[in-house]
Amino acid sequence: MTSEAEGLTGHVLDLDAIYHLLDARSNYGREIVRQSVLRNTTLLLPAVAAQCVAGFRPHQAEALFSVPVVTIGGLSAAEVTNAARFGPKMAANLEQYTPGLAMKSEIVTILAAAHAMLLAEARGGWRIITSVPHLYDDISDVRLEILP
């Protein structure tokens, strides 16, 4: 695998960032995609997030997945177990910021964010692009780029 120091670089998008981009909520989000294409910088989507988007918004997902720099990061059984270490803290963070929220509805957000953490770690600390930074509160060694 090529390291960031050898020229491969990118960002990991969590589920909320993907929806942020699809909904065109900000010029900043569009600019991230534009600059990534211009600079041939990878935009890595966690498999959980990509599957969720494909299921709920198939036409938009198809368009996003066809962008040349967009790649879907796989998720092995071992990685699922490894990602589980982030789940309890992320669930607590969501509960703190959105008390009483039905956790069932947010489990995919947590799973996708935990997978984003694994993908970023495996690539030497790539930034995770997110619109919900509180999800990552008190999690060490995470680098975030926050969408407005």
The pTM is what?
A: 0.84
Q: What is the pLDDT of residue 75?
A: 87
CA-to-CA distance for 138 and 69, rounded, in angstroms? 30
How is the chain split into domains, by residue range? 8-146
CA-to-CA distance for 3 and 58, rounded, in angstroms? 32
CATH 2.60.40.10 fits 8-146, yes or no: no
Tell which residue, 17, 5, 12, 25, has the closest CA to residue 126.
12
Tens digit of each residue's pLDDT, the chain (148 residues): 334 445 579 999 999 999 999 999 999 999 999 999 999 999 999 999 999 999 999 999 999 999 999 999 998 888 877 887 888 888 888 878 776 655 556 888 899 999 999 999 999 999 999 999 999 999 988 999 999 9
CA-to-CA distance for 138 and 140, rounded, in angstroms? 6
Three-class SS state of 66: coil
